[in-house]
């Protein structure tokens, strides 16, 4: 197959958990541009309202991924589903050595991904749908200030591989992208620190912070028929950071 499969996402139902901002929102916009029917979720009513106004062509709903019953009800309410993107995530830099905060970060970033995947599986099976998780550079490296975030993203990588095996008999492909250093609210503290920002840019061969939109092409590819024989992959989208 050569070239982009035009129309392959038209009228596909797509759920982007954590799609009200950042990487999730950029991926949601990319699916909308391809004609998909996109639902995005956020954790507060305010962010949901703001995202709905700022993201034409999408349905925005409130969802707390820590609430298993709410996840099941929200996913089931969609009726059908072709693609799921799990982009929900929190970070508590400097606080995650507190076991309670560590646990809270894992509950959103990792346990939430499992709740959404399990709830989505029955709806994805009829159409041999896809799941895309958002991993991180900290799926590969440790993070001294963010042990909870790093542990959760390492877990996302292993969860992705494990579910790829488990869901393959249903025809469901499960992959992840591992963003490099992307200009989102989660990295604001790093970007505002000249020393840390300089170190990151100095190691990134492409020499810049990534943009949320830089993740969209990889997300579309992994969900598309062009990636029909790809599952269990953790794809770095990092400007060359891991290679340097």
62-89: pLDDT as tens digits:
999 999 999 999 999 999 999 999 999 9
Cβ–Cβ < 8 Å for 187, 241: no
Confirm whether 226 is domain-assigned.
Answer: yes
- pLDDT for res 3: 58
Q: Is residue 240 part of a domain?
A: no
Sequence-distant (6+) residues with CB within 8 A of 13 are 36, 37, 39, 78, 79, 80, 81, 82, 83
Domain assignment present for 241: no
What burial letters (b/e) apply to 174-203, b meaning 16+ CB within 10 Å?
bbbbbbbbbbbebbeebbeeeeebeebbeb
Q: In whole angstroms, what is the distance from residue 119 CA to residue 127 CA? A: 15
Q: Is the pLDDT of residue 1 over 90?
A: no
**Closest among 80, 70, 100 to 88, alpha carbons compared:** 70
Q: Is 167 a catalytic residue?
A: no
* Lookup: tokens for 20: 């009200």
Domain-embedded: residue 244? no
First to last CA, the chain: 32
- What CA–CA distance (Å, rounded) separates 36 from 48? 19
Model confidence at 2, pLDDT cuts 50, 70, 90, reads: very low
Packing angle, helices 22-33 and 216-223, rounded to 10: 60
Kindly state whether residue 185 falls inside one of the protein's structural domains. yes
DSSP per-residue codes, 209-240: -B-GGGGHHHHHHHHSGGGTT--S-EEEESTT
Q: What is the pLDDT of residues 96-107, one digit of tens each?
A: 999 999 999 999
Query: What is the full DSSP assignment across 42-66?
Result: ESSHHHHHHHHHHSTTEEEEE--TT
Query: Where in the sequence is the domain holding 213, given as residue range(s)?
Result: 13-235
Q: To the nearest whole number, what is the mean pLDDT of the chain?
A: 96
pLDDT digits (tens, 9 = 90+) for 189-244: 889 999 999 999 999 999 999 999 999 999 999 999 999 999 999 999 999 999 99
The answer to whether position 2 is within a domain reads no
Q: Is there a contact between 201 and 14 (Cβ–Cβ < 8 Å)?
A: no
Residue 149 · residue 198 · CB < 8 Å: no
Q: Which of 86, 149, 167, 241 is catalytic?
A: 149
Please list, residue by residue across 225-235, b when 16 or more beta carbons sit within 10 angstroms of its beta carbon and e when fewer do: ebbeeebbbbb
pLDDT digits (tens, 9 = 90+) for 11-46: 999 999 999 999 999 999 999 999 999 999 999 999
User: Distance between CA 220 and CA 27 in Å, rounded?
Assistant: 8
CATH code assigned at 209: 3.40.50.720
**Would you place residue 187 in the very low, low, confident or very high pLDDT band (cuts 50, 70, 90)?**
confident
Domain count, the chain: 1
Does 243 fall in a domain? no
Does residue 81 fall inside a structural domain?
Answer: yes
């Amino acid at each position: 197959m050569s070239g982009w499969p035009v129309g392959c996402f038209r009228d596909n139902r797509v759920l982007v958990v954590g799609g009200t901002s950042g990487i999730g929102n950029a991926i949601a916009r990319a699916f909308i541009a391809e004609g998909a029917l996109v639902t995005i979720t956020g954790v507060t009513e305010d962010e949901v309202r703001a995202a709905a106004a700022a993201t034409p062509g999408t349905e925005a709903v409130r969802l707390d991924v820590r609430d298993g019953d709410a996840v099941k009800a929200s996913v089931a309410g969609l009726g059908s589903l072709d693609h799921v993107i799990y982009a929900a995530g929190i970070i508590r830099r400097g606080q995650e050595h507190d076991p309670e905060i560590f646990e809270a970060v894992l509950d959103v970033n990792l346990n939430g991904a499992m709740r959404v995947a399990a709830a989505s599986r029955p709806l994805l099976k009829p159409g041999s749908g896809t799941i895309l998780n958002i991993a991180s550079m900290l799926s590969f490296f440790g993070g001294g200030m963010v042990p909870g975030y790093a542990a959760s993203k390492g877990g996302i990588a292993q969860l992705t591989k494990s579910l790829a095996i488990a869901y393959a008999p249903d025809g469901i492909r499960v992959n992840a992208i591992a963003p490099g250093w992307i200009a989102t609210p989660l990295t604001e503290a790093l970007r505002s620190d000249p020393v840390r920002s300089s170190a990151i840019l100095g190691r990134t061969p492409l020499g810049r912070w990534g943009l949320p939109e830089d993740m969209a092409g990889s997300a579309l590819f992994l969900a598309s028929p062009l990636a029909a024989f790809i599952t269990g992959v953790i794809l770095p989208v990092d400007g060359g950071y891991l290679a340097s």
